[in-house]
Structure 1
Amino acid sequence: MLPVLLIAGPALAATGAAAGEEAALSLLWGIPFAGMLLSIALMPLLAGHLWHHHYGKIAAGWALLFLVPFAALHGPDAAWHEFTHVLVGEYLPFITLLLALYTAGGGVLLRGTLVGTPGVNTALLAAGTLLASIMGTTGASMVLIRPLLRANAGRRRKMHSFIFFIFLVSNIGGSLTPLGDPPLYLGFLQGVSFFWPTEHMFSEFLFCAILLLAVYWLMDTWLYAREQREIVEEAAEEAAEHDHVADSDHEPLGIAGWINVGLLALVVAGVLMQGIWLPGEVALLGQPIGLERIAAMLLFLLITAASVLWTPAGIRETNGFTWGAILEVAKLFAAIFLTMAPVLAMLKAGLEGPLGGLVAMTTDPNGQPIPEVYFWLTGALSSFLDNAPTYLVFFNLAGGDATHLMGDGALTLAAISCGAVFMGANSYIGNAPNFMVKAIVEEQGERMPSFFGYCGWALVFLVPTFILVTLLFF
């Protein structure tokens, strides 16, 4: 495969090659990314022991399959430039924010006994869906996934609850502010006003949330009727007492770990600061980066350290907190971001690039944008490429002028935003919290569907929902 890639033509414009060479990219440069996706999808099924013990090495192998041919074709300096471009411009801001949310969220403990009835489960999902736009999909997922696990400890049929949790709390719930989901955060940094998503995506958000919560409640009610309710109640009470979140059967709900609630508020402040304070750029590893980005990353690392130092050990132990889930996300998404770079460059090449056929679909014969196509193309690619950089590609494809897109182009921007946020739920890798929730649930000994199995759930429940969104709003 190496010789094939070496003759595959020019690679990324970020290397310093002429911008026009983007159009000469070969689809063969997408092989490492395709291999990475197939490894995540198939290896847990076909070689589970190998994958679970060596997924980091496998991910690194696919990353090297891109970097080594790249270095051979363009030189080590160009390969280093591309590596640092992804590291500084995309990966470090992404992973430091995620780490702060993961650590602080894992230090918030919901006390009291919850029994996994349809009403309680639906209420937990609804609360998480609302919280996600305030504390981020990662923060809301971290706070509520373990109470959901405890509440359903005695249920035999519960996988659907964790899947709908990913649909709603880890994705669709983050639709209303830049704090909610990384694509909207990138839009905020590009000049989209803070409350623009709240004003222009609320109807789409509300429709999806109500419809999916109603479907979930009907499904959970049907499945709960086949459970032994006494066992479900006893198991939930035992789980609460075992985890020391309840001292009696009737202890009211409450929160422990308030210091982490304050730290989550600091994360919010760090996100907001990057859209308000713009002191200029500096160089980091040879790459230009805004001082506000560096300040935010340092703040997020300090928040992580503060959470580790100031959170009582008993709270994390009760929450079943481990570093395994964030380590898995960090390793896999490092390779995903790197191998994804040539695929994004192909999209950025526009009509002249190897994916020009897709780009041409976004405008009508008069050159006007087609919102429903933007919705589905952004969404489809967000399902398998990370939804944040995919949003940015289509944001720029639509003109990249935030003032215009918030005004005359509002429907197009709403379509791009909804596609990126909503359809990040279509696969485990569409949005980082998806993989994190999967890892946490499996760490607790519960089953989750395979990569393709999860996509099947999305095909049955999410795709029809998004078709209705298209018909009603775009």
Structure 2
Amino acid sequence: MAFSGAELGLAWAAPFAGMLVSIAVMPLAAPAFWHHHFGKIAAGWTAALLIPFALAFGAGATGHVLVHTLVEEYLPFTILLAALYTTAGGIFIRGNLHGSPALNSGLMLLGAVLASFMGTTGASMLLIRPLVRANDNRVHNAHVVVFFIFIVSNVGGSLTPLGDPPLFLGFLQGVSFLWTVGHLWPETLFLQTSLLAMFWAIDTWLYRKEGVTRDDPTPDSPQLGLEGAINLLPLAVAIALVLMSGTWKPGIVFDLWGTPLPLQALVRDAGLVAVTFASLWLTPAGVREKNQFSWAPMQEVAKLFIAIFLTMVPVIAMLKAGPAGVFAPLAAMLTGSDGQPSPAAYFWLTGGLSSVLDNAPTYLAFFNLAGGDAARLMTEGAPVLAAISGGAVFMGALTYIGNAPNFMVKAIAEERGVKMPSFGGYLLWSCSVLLPLFFVTGWIWMR
């Protein structure tokens, strides 16, 4: 038996809501229990969806949902993340500069530029470790990582399909490679300039207030260099594979239990797996140890996001149902009083839901709500497509789960002793810093 989002009630969103509450509350309320059992908790919420789903819609529909979510969404997502995580983790930036406001701002600016070319994940994994090392003797350093997530892990990926998964999905749907940079560069420039200025002011104030810092576990050394630079080659191959999958259309599609598998997607994913193993093989001995490389952040993301992807299936289906579903009031908000689509509504709704639903599938849901025709959206619908793109990429920074690199950066920073804010504490930071900037962005450009 098939299912439609129009026939689902709000109760089907309960497992996803439970997953979010667990991520938000348990690391703070029961940190030791969460650290040892987060995989089991994620599996429990997944079962809380799949068992009732199988009883209501049958084993066939449940199997289709599992295959579709795993093969078309979760596995490509995880394989790409693993390839970028592995290659970037094999590049060690030798030397350790002093974590001054100027150096920190410069590293973030570099990351913001790199993010649109090597992805927010690649840029984040490359630079978060040297940034943490540079600031590991400072009393106050959590804010450095928080702004890094804002600037590098999110806003920095807004200019090309290589930058962030939502834009990559749009690229696969037919949005041209350079469309986003042509339509989002003013908003991106405003946000990055504002965030860098705010960070520099906050970091300068804290830097001067600290006075004497702690003993430096990694003493400063101005002699910088790259070890494991051979990983730039598999990293370039990974980027080429992503580009290939959006431009090469051989028209060969395999069917796996109702899920279409285009040949280009299979080649891309197989190539990315090969890139991961090639990086492990090519990296000189000792480089990953110097980088304090660990699989723990990747394992955490993989375990939590499989539960997130599966439990949000009914939520995305209800969103796609539009006026016929339980979220009909949201669909009605997307149209202005003149009957025309409202860019402002698309910006805020796409962005707000991206902060809790993961921005890639949320982008796709609103892309379809706007008609799903890339050719039309790039021309007469350009304001709406820009609003969807900007909302998904920018507002993925509002929570730890809005974009996969957020969680990975948090996990790496915590592994190295940074006392990162809790889910709620991070939300306080993001709402205080980002929401005023988003209001200005929406008022100027998303109307």
Note if contact 2:124-2:152 (Cα within 8 Å) is conserved in structure 1: yes
Query: Match of 1:254?
Result: 225
Structure 2 counterpart of 1:265, one-letter code: A
SS of 2:356's equivalent in the other structure is coil
Matched, 1:27 2:13: no
Query: Match of 2:391?
Result: 419
1:465 equivalent among 412, 437, 445? 437
Cα offset, 1:240, TM superposition: 5.3
Note if contact 1:150-1:240 (Cα within 8 Å) is conserved in structure 2: no
Describe how 1:62-461 pairs up with structure 2 within 5 A.
Answer: 62-228=45-211, 231=213, 235=216, 239=218, 249-251=221-223, 253-279=224-250, 280-284=252-256, 286-461=258-433
The two structures, once aligned, show a CA RMSD in angstroms of 1.3
Cα offset, 1:292, TM superposition: 0.8
| Alpha-carbon distance between aligned partners in 2 of 1:240 and 1:275, rounded to the nearest angstrom | 45
| Alpha-carbon distance between aligned partners in 2 of 1:450 and 1:250, rounded to the nearest angstrom | 34
| Alpha-carbon distance between aligned partners in 2 of 1:254 and 1:45, rounded to the nearest angstrom | 38
| Alpha-carbon distance between aligned partners in 2 of 1:395 and 1:200, rounded to the nearest angstrom | 16
Structure 2 counterpart of 1:468, one-letter code: V
Note if contact 2:139-2:210 (Cα within 8 Å) is conserved in structure 1: yes
Residue 72 to residue 130, structure 1, CA distance change in 2 (3 Å): same
Cα offset, 1:286, TM superposition: 5.0
| Alpha-carbon distance between aligned partners in 1 of 2:142 and 2:296, rounded to the nearest angstrom | 21
Structure 1 counterpart of 2:419, one-letter code: R
Residue 227 to residue 365, structure 1, CA distance change in 2 (3 Å): closer
Deviations 1:278-305 (A, max 9, x none): 2221023552111111111101100000
Deviations 1:182-221 (A, max 9, x none): 0000000000000111111111100000000000000000
Structure 2 counterpart of 1:239, one-letter code: T
SS of 1:153's equivalent in the other structure is coil
Cα offset, 1:429, TM superposition: 0.3
Note if contact 1:378-1:391 (Cα within 8 Å) is conserved in structure 2: yes
Matched, 1:37 2:50: no
Residue 224 to residue 179, structure 1, CA distance change in 2 (3 Å): same
Note if contact 2:115-2:122 (Cα within 8 Å) is conserved in structure 1: yes
Note if contact 1:128-1:140 (Cα within 8 Å) is conserved in structure 2: yes
Cα offset, 1:99, TM superposition: 0.5
Note if contact 2:96-2:134 (Cα within 8 Å) is conserved in structure 1: yes
Deviations 1:328-377 (A, max 9, x none): 00000000000000000000001110000001101123321110110000
| Alpha-carbon distance between aligned partners in 1 of 2:256 and 2:86, rounded to the nearest angstrom | 26
| Alpha-carbon distance between aligned partners in 1 of 2:425 and 2:122, rounded to the nearest angstrom | 26
Query: Match of 1:245?
Result: none
Q: Which moved more, 1:275-284 or 1:133-142?
A: 275-284
Note if contact 1:108-1:257 (Cα within 8 Å) is conserved in structure 2: yes
SS of 2:318's equivalent in the other structure is helix
Structure 2 counterpart of 1:101, one-letter code: L
SS of 2:434's equivalent in the other structure is helix
Deviations 1:111-138 (A, max 9, x none): 2231100000000111111110010000
| Alpha-carbon distance between aligned partners in 2 of 1:398 and 1:261, rounded to the nearest angstrom | 38
| Alpha-carbon distance between aligned partners in 2 of 1:111 and 1:134, rounded to the nearest angstrom | 23
Cα offset, 1:408, TM superposition: 1.0
SS of 1:283's equivalent in the other structure is strand
Note if contact 1:176-1:198 (Cα within 8 Å) is conserved in structure 2: yes
SS of 1:123's equivalent in the other structure is helix
SS of 1:239's equivalent in the other structure is coil
Using structure 1 for the length normalisation, give the TM-score.
0.92
Structure 1 counterpart of 2:48, one-letter code: L
Note if contact 2:5-2:319 (Cα within 8 Å) is conserved in structure 1: no
Cα offset, 1:40, TM superposition: 0.3
| Alpha-carbon distance between aligned partners in 1 of 2:105 and 2:257, rounded to the nearest angstrom | 47
Note if contact 1:347-1:393 (Cα within 8 Å) is conserved in structure 2: yes
Deviations 1:405-444 (A, max 9, x none): 1111111111100000000000000000000000001111
Cα offset, 1:72, TM superposition: 1.2
Residue 409 to residue 254, structure 1, CA distance change in 2 (3 Å): same
| Structure 2 residues without counterparts, runs of 5 or longer | none
Note if contact 1:188-1:194 (Cα within 8 Å) is conserved in structure 2: yes
Deviations 1:301-323 (A, max 9, x none): 00000111111231111111100
Residue 329 to residue 345, structure 1, CA distance change in 2 (3 Å): same
Number of positions where the alignment pairs a residue of Structure 1 with one of Structure 2:
445
| Structure 1 residues without counterparts, runs of 5 or longer | 1-14, 242-248
| Alpha-carbon distance between aligned partners in 2 of 1:98 and 1:285, rounded to the nearest angstrom | 25
Runs of at least 4 residues of structure 1 off by over 4 A? none
* Identity across the alignment (%): 56
Structure 1 counterpart of 2:51, one-letter code: V
2:41 equivalent among 25, 39, 58? 58
